[in-house]
């Protein structure tokens, strides 16, 4: 089992702090071989090259935080295209994060176009889905997520790779996480849904993941990693999440040997 842990820096960091981060992470990776974890770094696109320059020789992968759904090149001021991300060495991109859905009015249709453009440029989309607090309390979690998937995946090529991040909106940046049973229910629903549509996805969880809860969350069956916001901003809080993945991955290998 290899886990994928994605660091979403959101709109944080400076050139200086990104370089410092890269140096610190490089030292840890130099001393600790990772056997069960793939790290994907998604800093601001403008800082990507600085981070990459510090992590040369590591197996770190890179991702964008968003991409343009309309075109690969052209008159789209302020946008970054999937082709441009690929050109920068990215193999992943977060798509449909709830902050973009909410603050920028990104609709399910727009997100569907972004998924198509990602796959055309061989970028693996990390599609974010999840319910808000009220929807959760009223028992509509799966209904909301299914509605998002129905439209987001409408044009999705069944041969393309995709990751789906279950991110309950009420959990993002709040320190609150759902019960393991609730995460398991959503993961099972998404897995069944994807199978029913002849699609395959790696399923991950995001929302207040820390070094203190990562190991427990990995008890959820078929969960293959995390999308991490706040705790990814410092190497000292990000690294324990990697260590949790390494520890659980090792346990699983020992049990099945
Ligand atoms: P958080 O953010 O880890 O700070 O809760 C997660 C996310 O927004 O993807």
Contact in structure between 62 and 83 (CB atoms under 8 Å): no
The answer to whether the predicted template modeling score (pTM) of the entire model surpasses 0.75 is yes
Atom of ligand 1 nearest to the CA of 207: 5
| The pLDDT of residue 158 | 87
CATH class of 3-256: alpha beta
Distance from Cα 172 to the centre of ligand 1, integer Å? 5
Nearest Cα to 173, choosing from 67, 98, 93? 98
Cα dihedral 82, 88, 92, 98 in deg (nearest 10)? -70
Residue with tokens 């690294």, as numbered in its chain = 239
For ligand 1, atom 1, which residue shows the shortest CA distance?
A: 229
Q: Which tokens in the block code for residue 217? A: 């969350």
- pLDDT value at residue 157: 87
What's the pLDDT at 142?
98
> Which segments of the chain have a pLDDT < 70?
none
Three-class secondary structure of residue 148 per DSSP: helix
pLDDT in tens, 58-80: 999 999 999 999 999 999 999 99
Q: Which residues are catalytic?
A: 97, 167
Whole-number pLDDT of residue 1: 79
Which atom of ligand 1 has the smallest separation from the CA of 231? 3
Cβ 141 vs Cβ 103: under 8 Å: no
229 CB under 6 A from ligand 1? yes
Neighbouring-strand partners of residue 61: 40
pLDDT of residue 138: 98
Q: Would you list the domain boundaries of the chain? A: 3-256
Could you count the other beta carbons within 10 Å of the beta carbon of residue 91?
16
């Amino acid at each position: 089992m290899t886990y994928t842990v994605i660091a979403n820096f959101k709109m944080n960091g400076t050139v200086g702090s990104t370089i410092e981060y890269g140096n610190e992470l490089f030292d840890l990776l130099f001393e600790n071989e990772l056997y069960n974890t793939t790290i994907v770094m998604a800093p601001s696109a403008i800082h990507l090259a600085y981070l990459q320059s510090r992590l040369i020789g590591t197996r770190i992968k890179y991702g964008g935080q968003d991409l343009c759904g309309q075109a690969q090149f052209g008159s789209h001021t302020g946008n970054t295209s999937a082709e441009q991300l690929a050109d920068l060495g990215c193999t992943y991109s977060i798509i449909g994060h709830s902050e973009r859905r909410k603050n920028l009015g990104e609709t399910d249709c727009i997100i569907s176009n972004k998924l198509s453009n990602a796959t055309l440029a061989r970028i693996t989309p990390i599609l974010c889905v999840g319910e808000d607090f009220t929807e959760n309390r009223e028992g509509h979690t799966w209904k909301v997520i299914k509605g998002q998937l129905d439209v987001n995946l409408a044009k999705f090529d069944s041969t393309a790779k995709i990751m789906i991040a279950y991110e309950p909106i009420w959990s993002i940046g709040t320190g609150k996480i759902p019960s393991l049973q609730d995460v398991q229910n959503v993961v099972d629903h998404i897995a069944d849904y994807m199978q029913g549509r002849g699609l395959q996805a790696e399923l991950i969880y995001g929302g207040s993941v820390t070094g203190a809860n990562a190991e427990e969350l990995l008890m959820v069956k078929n969960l293959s990693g995390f999308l991490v916001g706040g705790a990814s901003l410092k190497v000292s809080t990000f690294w324990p999440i990697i260590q949790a993945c390494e520890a659980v991955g090792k346990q699983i290998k020992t049990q099945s040997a």
